[in-house]
Structure formats: structure tokens, C-alpha cells
Chain A
Amino acid sequence: QLHLEESGPGLVKPSETLSLTCTVSGGSINTDNYYWVWIRQPPGKGLEWIGSMFSTGSTYYKPSLESRVSISDDTAKNHFSLRLSSVTAADTAVYYCARQRSRAARGGIDYWGQGTLVTVSS
């Protein structure tokens, strides 16, 4: 059974960089046909896809965040990470890491972390 867990600071100051790591256990991130994904949810609001990394290493980002976001992986540690720079209060949200199946593997986000609240405040 795959398990994903987010870790990182719960409080980030405005204009600084938010950094989160998702540690995956019960399976390898170096597996074909899966995307490793970051999604966020501001308090009381809906889900927002931030970006994804495919098993080939290709990355895809939400256009409105692309200038501030990067996703990378460390296959040796079996984790992937999110960096979001120049944060503002609008970036306050619960951040989820997750696994999405590729279209060839039926699609859909089948595993999620429990989520971690990141608050942007001075």
C-alpha cells in the first residue's frame, strides 16, 4: 500500500520561498505511468493543481504559477519536492502531494498525502 507524507515548515514569511517534501513509502517514485503531483486547497475553498512530475522527469506547472514554482525529485530518497518562491498570503493553503495515474494507466489521483497547512505570515 502506497503511503505519501508531506513535510516542511508550517509558517513561511511573505516574499520567502515555500519548500515542501513528499516522502513516498510502499512503492518507488521511479515507476512508469505515474505523475507525482502537488495540489493545494486554501482554507474553505476548492482544489488547485500546482504541478506534476512524470516518471520520465518531465515537469508541468499551472501557467499562473509557472514563474514561481519548481518540482524536483530524489529517487535515491524516494521523495519529491515543491518550491514556491515569492509567497504571499494568497499562497496560504493545505498542500497535498499525490500520485496521478497516466492516461494509459486509466488516470485519476489514486493516492494522496494527508495534507499539510502552510501559512504565509510575518
Chain B
Amino acid sequence: DIQMTQSPSTLSASIGDRVTITCRASQSIRTWLAWYQQKPGIAPKLLIYGASSLETGVPSRFSGSGFGTEFTLTISSLQPDDFATYFCQQYHTSSWTFGQGSKVEIK
């Protein structure tokens, strides 16, 4: 299995802050990476696919970048609705894996 490691596990931030979450793959996954947002008790929501493509309807303050083994999710100006847990997922192989999650908390 390809291992996906996210950092930080928890992040405290304020409204308006620029927030960056990192996801590292144990081997190259090219750009076969997605990012999801999950709020308590609700299914995850797709934000980014193909490492950097914004899913339809997702606010433009969200962006993704990276290639190979290192990827980032950036929220340019944190909004109240963005306090949630974020997961990366690789789909390079037929055995998909998720990162362990990064929780964005109110500072």
C-alpha cells in the first residue's frame, strides 16, 4: 500500500488566516490525489482532484498543488465554514489510501 502522511494533525487558526496542510506519499503518485473536507457526523466533501483542480462549486479560496510525493492544500483566507477535518486520498494504484486527517480548529 502507498502510505499517505498528513501534517499537521491539528492546526489552530483564526478567521482570515492563510492555512496550509501537507500530504506526503510514500512513493510517487504523480497528480493522482484528491482532498476532502469533513465536518462531524457528515460524509466527506470533495474539494480538489488531480492534485490541483477545484471541484465544481467549491470556493476559490481553496487550492491544491504538488506532484510526485508532496502535496499541499491551501485555504487563502479561512472562513467560519472551513473549521473541519481535511483528508488527502491517493488513487494512483488500484488500492487507494487516505491520509490520517488534519483538523483545523478555531484559535
Contact B43 A46 (CB under 8 A): no
**How many chain A residues touch B (Cβ–Cβ < 8 Å)?**
23
Contact A109 B46 (CB under 8 A): yes
B83 at the A/B interface (Cβ < 8 Å)? no
9 closest pairs, A vs B, by CB?
Answer: A108-B49, A112-B43, A108-B34, A47-B98, A60-B94, A49-B96, A46-B101, A46-B100, A108-B46
The tally of residues in B whose CB lies under 8 Å from a CB in A reads: 26
A30 CA / B65 CA spacing, docked (Å)? 33
Task: Tell me whether A106 and B53 are in contact (CB under 8 A).
Answer: yes
CA distance A115 to B39 in the complex (A): 13
State A100–B34 Cα separation when bound (angstroms).
11
Known A-B contacts A46-B100, A112-B44; A107 and B95 likewise in contact (beta carbons under 8 Å):
no
Contact with B along A90-122 (1 / 0, CB 8 A): 000000101011010011111011110000000
| A-B interface contact total, Cβ < 8 Å | 63
- Contact B1 A46, beta carbon cutoff 8 Å: no
A107 to B100 Cα, complex, angstroms = 20
The 8 A CB mask of A48-70 against B (1 = contact, 0 = none) is 11001000000011110000000
Note all chain B residues with C-beta closer than 8 A to A113. Answer: 43
Contact residues, B3-58 vs A (CB, 8 A): 32, 34, 36, 38, 42-46, 48-50, 53, 55
Q: A46 contacts B32, CB within 8 Å?
A: no
**CA distance in complex: A63, B36 (Å):** 23
